[in-house]
Amino acid sequence: MKIENPNPIQWRFSDRASQLQSSFIREILKITQRPEIISFAGGLPSPATFPVEQMKAAYDKVLSENGKMALQYGPTDGYAPLREWIADYLSTDSCKIVPEQVLMVSGSQQALDLIGKVLIDEGSRVLVETPSYLGALQAFSVYRPEFKSVETDDHGLVPSSIPAVAEGARLLYALPNFQNPTGRSLSVERRIELVETCARLGIPLIEDDPYGALSYKGEPYPKLLNMNPDGVIYMGSFSKVLTPGIRLGYVVAPLPLVRRLELAKQAADLHTAQITQMVVHEVVKDGFLQQHIPSIRTLYANQCQVMLDAMAEQFPKGVQWTRPEGGMFIWVTLPKHIDAMKLLDQAIAAKVAFVPGAPFYANDPETNTLRLSFVTVPPERIREGIAILGKLIAAQM
């Protein structure tokens, strides 16, 4: 029952939609999912760390004991027992977090979208690290801010450089632990300075913390949240410590903001799957993460060391890289004249992939940088891939 000769629609997209670009990483991922490619490109956690049996048992238990509740609509702010668990997990002796501050979201990426929606007007100034997480730049871009890059050195974000760009800033977005893409972490001194600076200037400070628990030494850094719970918006996720495919994260924010974020979430997708939250609560409530996370740390610390050793052996002089103490990424700086984007073409032809660094810069990209992930590929293939990459770089020196 088709209608005859309809006019073709002349699509008129919103101005906002013109900002939409596919993440370069996800585009590369499509290429690099071919099994013959040694991919250092993805930020995919190692599937070897997924607690499949525990998840299966939890789905079975939740559906057996509480199936109708798990499959029904739920509250926008999230499943209360999980919010309580998270508040408790993030509380310290001197800083108690309450469940009302916790909003469950469909992965941290959704937290970025909701924060952008609620805090950014067109042209609003947004402060980011140099370089910063691509997914955050992408999420915020939709709301058309003016990005200002905050200076960074080998030790990460430089707090003393904030006042120069602070005027009118709606937020500062930072990833203090094992940053994506650089793998750098902020020292305790810099954390204090960062939190104090933002508090003094009245700038909401976003602490994105997907990797904080993945410290290879096992000792996590203090959270910015706990230094100033009234000025910090904390983003956490189960993606890197449990599994990413369930899409479950959370935001912890001061009450006036968290209520706005909740309203934005209600309009965006009503709520995050009830069953997912109940299952995760079932898995984590009795301390599973405390046993599980060390096994992830050990695996990643080993693969990180394998990659660092291989780089020391195979990369020519003049190439520099970070030495992460946790997380999933190493950041490489090539001599200035080498364009990582062109290197990627050659690398893919030689069956190795990585992510060029340029897309991680909000302003003035450094085209001689790249990001390597060491978590998805096993040690033997890491050595093989780094050797190939070393030869390609050497050929350009």
Stretch near its own copies under the rule CB under 8 A, chosen from 104-112, 304-312, 328-336, 346-354 = 104-112
CB of 156 to its own copies, least distance (A): 18
CB-nearer residue toward its own copies: 11 or 349: 11
CB of 335 to its own copies, least distance (A): 33
- Written as six digits, the tokens of 46 are 């190692």
The DSSP line for 172-235 is EEE--SS-TTT-----HHHHHHHHHHHHHHT--EEEE-SSTT-BTTS-PPPPHHHH-TTTEEEE
CB-nearer residue toward its own copies: 141 or 322: 141
Site pattern 21..60 for its own copies (x: CB under 8 A): xxx--x---------------x-xx-x--x-x--xx--xx
Q: Which residues within the stretch 123-162 sit at the binding site for its own copies (CB under 8 A)?
A: 124, 135, 138-139, 141-143
CB-nearer residue toward its own copies: 243 or 322: 243
- Does 6 bind its own copies (CB under 8 A)? Our answer is yes
Site pattern 234..253 for its own copies (x: CB under 8 A): -----x---xxxxx------
CB of 269 to its own copies, least distance (A): 4
Q: Which residues within the stretch 355-394 sit at the binding site for its own copies (CB under 8 A)?
A: none
The torsion of the CA quartet 264, 267, 269, 272, rounded to 10 degrees, works out to 50
CB of 390 to its own copies, least distance (A): 29
CB of 50 to its own copies, least distance (A): 5
Residue 153, beta-bridge partner list: 156
Site pattern 255..284 for its own copies (x: CB under 8 A): -xx--x--xx-xxxxxxxxxxx--------
Binder among 91, 149, 161, 228 for its own copies (CB under 8 A):
228
Residue of 100, 54, 71, 356 whose CA lies nearest to 250: 100
Q: How far are the Cα atoms of 122, 123, 199, 229, 343 from residue 119, in angstroms, in the given order?
A: 10, 12, 17, 18, 38
Q: Which residues within the stretch 283-342 sit at the binding site for its own copies (CB under 8 A)?
A: none
Angle between helices 274-284 and 288-314 (to 10 degrees): 90
Q: How far are the Cα atoms of 9, 10, 11, 12, 17 from residue 5, in angstroms, in the given order?
A: 12, 15, 18, 21, 29
Residue with tokens 């780094």: 386
Tell me the residue type at 15.
D
